[in-house]
Every structure is written in structure tokens, then in C-alpha cells.
Chain A
Amino acid sequence: MVADSNPQSKPARRRIIQVLLGGGLLGSFASFIYPVLRYLVPPPVAELGGDQVIAGKIAELKPNSAKIFRFGSRPGLLIRNSDGSYRALSATCTHLGCIVQYHGDVQEIWCACHNGFYDLNGRNVSGPPPRPLEVYEVHLQGDDVLVSRKREA
């Protein structure tokens, strides 16, 4: 045992040096890599416009037609139904993020990218979309059509 302990003590000391050197080297590499990784992540963009936006003027849309409006940095779809009422939904397809459009002749919402259909309540009725479109609240105020996010109860 005594004979063994001596040859072992030298490698043990060397081992400590190796761990210290290696650890220091790894630590310094981490300190180089970390800022690079953080740099790759884009800074968050402030959402503009908040929870309510003027989507258009009342006179602007004919019945059974629709337009795209800006809801912050995202597109929204404002539809005027055949009876003259309005509804507003998110225009971002829940499938792969294309921008949907209103299909007046079948009165459905259509995404051209992968042929997905939603009904006027935003429900995904055919094609690949996995989820319904978010539906917004519409208020008329003077000449303006105001669209706001639904408050969670």
C-alpha cells in the first residue's frame, strides 16, 4: 500500500492540474460562446397599438367583402357579412402562418398556401389547419370600425 501510494500521488497532483487547466479553458470558452449565443437571439419587438385598433371606415367595405388590417404587427381580417354586420379575425393561418383571405362566393375564409378553409366563426372546417382562427370583437364608433381582442373571462 505504501509502495502504491507514492506513484499514485504524482498522477493525482497532475490530475488536479489537468482539471484546473481544462476547467479554466472550458470556462473561458463558455465566456466566449455565451455572448455569441445571446447575440443570435433578436431583441423583442414592442407590440404596437395595444389591444384595440381602427380596422377601417364603415363606408369602406361593401357587403360580402373583406380587407386585411394591421393589428399591431400582425395582420387581421375584417369581413362585412351579406347582412351588413362586421366580424374580425386573425388573418394568420394556424397551419403554417400564411395570410388568409375571404372567399365571397362560398362565404368562407381560405388560405391559398395549403388550401385550408375556415368558416366565418374562424373554425377550421377543411384542409390542414389544426386550430381555429382567433376571433376579435368588433365595435362601431362613429365612422370607424374598431377591433379589439376578446377579454378572457
Chain B
Amino acid sequence: MTLFAAMRNWIEERFNWADLTAPLREKAVPAHDLSYWYFLGGITLFLFGIQVCTGILLLLYYRPSATEAFESVQYIMTRVQFGWLVRSIHSWAANLMIFTAFCHMFSVLFLGAYRKPREMTWITGMLLLFLAMGFGFSGYLLPWNTLAFFATKVGTEITGQVPVIGHGLKVFLRGGEDVTGATLTRFFGFHVALLPGLTTLLLLTHIALVQYFGMSVPPAVEARWKALPSEARHIKFFPNFFLRELMAWYIALGVLGALAAILPWELGTKADPFAPAPAGIRPEWYFMFMFQTLKKIPAKVWFADGDVLGIMAFGVAGILWVLLPFFDPAGDKRGRKLVLGAGMFALSYIIAMTIYGYMAK
């Protein structure tokens, strides 16, 4: 008896192997010309796994204090064998993960996968995206370099402009009135304990929901399949779809390795709380469209502070975005048009403002 057969036998005697593996055997994925978009969520999940692994590796050498953080990252990148690679992969995978998460979100929007009964899948997905951005924002500060220091100053100051709770929130995030070593310690705690815990819970919920409802079929394909039921095609999740997903992961890993090796992530200069902000301060690219908007809003709009107005607008837009599925109830053509319009507008706004942000000096 081979080892595998012995193990299987051991399990068979205690649990029902057939019952255990039934979901795997029965799960099917719709096959049509838009099936490729199904890979994006899986790729995002894979990149999250990379983040957990490389994050644990970085924790072996990183020191979360204002006096040691920059030096410890420098040490990782120059002294630790392959430290540059691990850190570079962590930074690149973070950015790619946010990118694939955004693509995943827009594909879900345009392919109508958020519709009833999948509203909760959309909402948990949006919360996961916010958590991912929180990961990005808190992780950005950890090397304690000039760019990150000022980006954090601006980012937390923006939080401070929220009416009523703003100031308290800012002090809570910064660990005081200013961005100091106390901020670094807090962000470190958020980045390695609070956010991973929340993300694990939400991620499991999100994946369980996807399993429960199965893959959504885009409205156009669904209409075609309804008219001609013989057209409908499915492939088995295991092993057919799973192997394709593995190939996608392998390609993602290849892209990630190449980027990390060819364009290693820079460290910059150590943050000095008493030096002027250098030119070219910018947040990470996925905050760029908001950053650029705030930069272009006049100081006073009518009688209100321009920034407060901008922040409130983004806040309201964010909440509406999370509730998007509820604007498109089943059988309402106007709702679908509204959501598609909002999606096109948001996508073009984000792309245009991001490009503008990088072109403008």
C-alpha cells in the first residue's frame, strides 16, 4: 500500500471521504467567452498569500521604532541574504494585489455579478478592498522614509478633517497630535495584527459566499443561455478550472518575480520630522485620484472648506459604492443602467485623475 493510499484509508475509516470531497467533485464553473474574468479574485487571493509569507519573513528582522525602522529595512536590503528580494516582492505584491482587486471589483460590476442574491459577496469584497488599502497605507510608513512620512502626515490630516469625529480619529491613528515614532508603533500593530485578523475573517466569509452561490453568469450570457439552453456550458471546478487557476497563479508569480528582481523597490532617505517636505510628495498610486482631487479643489467652495467638502464627497461616494447592488434590483433595467453608468464614470475618473496626478508637477 502506498503512503497516499494509507493516508486516504486512515481518513476513510474516520470520515467519509466521498462526503468530504463531494463539493469539489460537484462544483462547476460556467464556461463562456468572458470566463477569463473569473481568475481575478483567485489571483488576488494568491497575492494575499504571498503577502502573508513575505510579511512573516520581514518580521524576522524588522524593528518598529522611529530610531531603528529605517536602519532595519536597510539591513534587510543590504545584509540579509535575499533580503532585497523578499522586501521587493512584499512591496510589488502589495501593489499588484490592490491592482488585481480593483480589476476584480470592476469586472464584477460590469459583468453584473453583484446582483441578487450576491449583495453580501459584493459588500464583503468592498470591505476587503478597504482593508487592503489600509494595509497599503499602514505598510507604506513602516520603512520610515521621507516620502512615507509626509504621505502619512497628509493622509492622517485628511482623516482629521472629517466633521465631529475627525480630530479624535487623527489622534488615535497618530498616537498623538503629530506623526512621530508613536504613529509608527501603532501602524505596525495595525499592519501585522489588527488588519490581518479582520482580513482573515472577512476573506473566509467572502470565499464561503462565493462557494455558496457559485459563479455568477453575466447577464448577456445568461439571456443567451435562457433562450437556447443547449448552449450552456460548464467545466468542472476540480481539476479543470483549478488547474487553469494554478496556471494563472504561476504567471502572476513570474510577473511578480521579474518585477521584484528587475525593478527592486527603493528605500529613499530616512524621515526627518524637522525637514521641509521635498517636491514630488505623493501617496501610493491607488490613493492618487483622491490626492489629485484634493490638490485641485479650491481652498473655499462657496462658504465651506474645499478639503472638507472633497473628503465628505469621497466618503459619501464610498458608502454609496458599497451599497451599489441595492440600486440595481432584479428586473429593473434603469437600475442596471445607473450602476453601469456609475461604474464607467468611476473608472474613467480614477484613470484620468491618476494619470493627471503623475503628469502634473
Interface residues on A, range: 20 to 34
User: Interface with B: A4-12, A28-36, A110-118, which one?
Assistant: A110-118
Residues on A facing B (Cβ under 8 Å): 40-42, 45, 68, 70, 73-75, 91, 93, 95-101, 111-115, 124, 127-130
Q: Is the CB of A97 within 8 A of B153?
A: yes
Q: What is the chain B residue whose CB lies nearest that of A114? A: B295
- Which of B171, B174, B274 is the one whose CB lies under 8 Å from A70? B274
> Told that A41-B168, A96-B154, A112-B277 touch, could you supply 18 new A-B pairs with CB distance under 8 A?
A42-B175, A45-B177, A70-B274, A73-B178, A93-B277, A95-B299, A96-B294, A99-B277, A100-B277, A101-B277, A112-B279, A112-B281, A127-B299, A128-B294, A128-B299, A128-B307, A130-B305, A130-B307
Given contacts A128-B294, A128-B298, A130-B299, contact A45 B277 (CB under 8 A): no
Name A's interface SS.
loop
Could you tell me if B276 and A41 are in contact, using CB atoms closer than 8 angstroms? no
13 CB-based A-B contacts, threshold 8 Å: A42-B176, A68-B274, A96-B153, A98-B154, A98-B281, A99-B274, A99-B275, A100-B276, A112-B281, A114-B154, A124-B299, A128-B295, A128-B298
CA distance A49 to B216 in the complex (A): 64
How many residues does chain B have at the interface if contact means C-beta atoms less than 8 Å apart? Answer: 33
Q: How far is the CA of A97 from the CA of B307 in the complex (A)?
A: 13
- CB-CB under 8 A from A127, the residues of chain B are 299
The total of Cβ contacts below 8 Å across the A-B interface reads: 77
Is the Cβ of B277 less than 8 Å from the Cβ of A98? Answer: yes
Question: Which positions 162-177 of chain B face chain A at CB distance < 8 Å?
Answer: 168, 171-172, 174-177
**For B280, what are the chain A residues with a Cβ–Cβ distance below 8 Å?**
112
In the complex, chain B residues 279-315 whose Cβ is within 8 Å of any chain A Cβ: 279-281, 294-295, 297-300, 305-307
Complex CA gap A74/B273 in Å reads 9
Once the chains are docked, how many angstroms separate the CA of A12 from the CA of B158?
52
CA distance A127 to B361 in the complex (A): 13
A41 touches B171 (CB 8 A): yes
